[in-house]
A and B are shown apart, each in its own frame.
Chain A
Amino acid sequence: MSSIQIKNLTKQFKVLNRHEGLKGSIQDLFSRDYKTVTAVDNISMTVEQGEIVGYLGPNGAGKSTTIKMMTGVLEPTSGEIIVGDVVPYRNRTKLAQEIGVVFGQRSQLWWALPLIESFRILKDIYRISDENYNAMMDFYRTQVDIEPLLHKPVRQMSLGQRTLSDILAAFLHDPKIVFLDEPTIGLDVSMKAKIRTLIHALNQEKNTTVILTTHDMGDVDALCRRIVIIDKGKMLYDNDIAHLKGFFGSYRTLKVRMDGDLQAHAEEIRKEVDFSVSADEEWISILVDEEKEKVLDVLGRLQHTHNIRDMQLEEISTEEIIKKIYEEGVE
């Protein structure tokens, strides 16, 4: 059974054309000069029960708008959308029983209350039976070290503990679909790993559909088989990551290390090769398309002009693929 069905979904906003300066502001007060902005443009997709879908796109691509339509906060301008078996904006209350929502930086828990009390209130709100509630809590105990969290007021928790608690709270009523909006934003490496493991385990155990929006490709690599990419409201890609990697099969990342200012070196290399070049504290990365030029040829050329101390060769990473798609699109 498919758990989300979206067909030709479009959302447009009317935005006032703003004028500059004080005179412009006064003009705006009386202006009827609107323009239409299309935030989501004719998107269609079907998500099966139990899938984890990475929903990706640069800032302002229309991700939030789509999520808001799926959760019933926004009414679509046109198109069809069914989540669970509900038309979201028509029946928000019924939908709420079927879904869970987590925002990376906005806790939905009662700020002053210890976590266990929040859980007990949620148990009442969602009418979770004692049996299901206890089973879920037992499952949580097998997954995370929950005891130290239970008696701590949410406001005293670290960001990581709070996110963890929010995720546990979102799954508590065993929803069919959970929307996770940047669940690992601002967290340290070990907390990120913990949260990814938890999401994976919950998905496996409960067969919950998960829609994950993120900018962290580590989340995608750890959790998603399928990704959907949108930009400027339009769908760019909807398929397996493996498939996407096939697309870029001829790409290799050549990493070189050298003495001196890496940013300056990267700048020079950019003039010498025809590929995208980036530098971090340790490595200069060159994304080589082997259909154009072999990696070893590039390396050979660079050896003449630079003093290379070390090198590595890598497959293209998800991060780089996504970056390429944002920048160039999929042919």
Chain B
Amino acid sequence: MHRSIGFYLRIYGKILVQDIKSKMSYRSDFIISTIGMICTNIAGFVSFWILFQNFPSVDGWSYYEMLFLYGFSLVSLTPVQCLFDNNWSLRIYVYSGDFIKYCFRPINLFFYYQSEIFDIKGLGQLAFGIGTIVYAWAKLGLPVTVLMILKMIVFLITASLIMIALQNAAAATCFWIQNSFYVLDLVFRFKDYAKYPITIFSPVFRFIFTFLMPIAFIAYYPSLVILRPDEIPLLSWLSPVIGLVFFFLSYKFWMYGAMKYSGTGS
């Protein structure tokens, strides 16, 4: 029974509005976690800044170019944080047998599961990331044209799919192994390397970050399209396709695990 995107968007919108309303009602929880998110971002930025007090450039990348990369990674990591946060709880639902409660609705299981949680704190990161990109953009004197902005949006969205795909796949391992937290944690730690140009790593890691755990597509390859228009590698142009393919594969993997899930005894 296939249902239109409009159908799903309407349901998502409804859940979202209600969820935000109820979160706001736990005010201290909301304020504290928002402050926490701001602090995390500031701390991340400060360590980045300190690094550049000591090195004028990293492997031929200037301070503002690095800042652009940093902002790009923040923005493209926002959707995974806001929309797919329930992946972190998946192993708990699966282990306790509670996951079975998601299996009886006449809508897509993956959608239904992910729609349950919207992590509003991610929006702070989004604002921070956009601010950083705009600042770096201005300092680098990049042209502001419709085409550039369009490119930017397409590449940001497809880049965000990479991290979503990695997280989906890592979370879905819990359908087979018991202690999948370490897999999820490992993948999530690697995202910290996304904000560096891949050329600073050794060839082995360059290979890993490009083809095995493709975090280089979260910021590096798509940024090149904007930052170095004269020497864009093929992989940069391919990054939207790679984002879509990886997302699709991770979705299939997640659903495969979920469909073979049969719960615990009651």
Contacts and interface: CB of A to CB of B under 8 A. Distances in A.
Contacts of A94: 1, 106
B179 interface: no
B4 to A, nearest CB: 12
A64 B264 CA distance: 9
Given A97-B1, A181-B266, A106 B101 contact: yes
Contact of A103 (B18, B261, B266): B266
Nearest to A109: B101
A102 to B, nearest CB: 10
A113 B103 contact: no
Interface residues of B, number: 25
Nearest to B97: A106
Interface in A82-120: 92-94, 96-97, 99-101, 103, 106-108, 110, 112-113, 117, 120
Interface string B114-127: 00100000000000
Interface in B1-17: 1, 10-11, 14-15
Given A60-B265, A64-B265, A64-B266, A125 B11 contact: yes
Nearest to B266: A64
B104 A96 contact: yes
B115 to A, nearest CB: 10
A165 to B, nearest CB: 14
Given A93-B1, A103-B266, A113-B18, A121 B11 contact: yes
Nearest to B15: A121
B47 interface: no
A71 B102 CA distance: 12
B105 A125 contact: yes
B192 interface: no
A26 interface: no
25 contacts: A64-B263, A68-B100, A71-B104, A73-B262, A73-B263, A92-B103, A93-B1, A93-B107, A93-B108, A94-B106, A96-B106, A97-B1, A100-B104, A101-B104, A103-B100, A106-B100, A107-B101, A112-B19, A112-B22, A112-B23, A121-B14, A121-B18, A126-B106, A153-B22, A182-B266
Given A68-B262, A71-B104, A125-B106, 9 more contacts: A60-B265, A73-B261, A73-B263, A93-B108, A94-B1, A96-B104, A97-B106, A124-B10, A124-B11
| Closest A-B pairs by Cβ, 9 of them | A96-B106, A112-B22, A97-B106, A108-B101, A101-B104, A117-B18, A93-B1, A74-B262, A113-B18
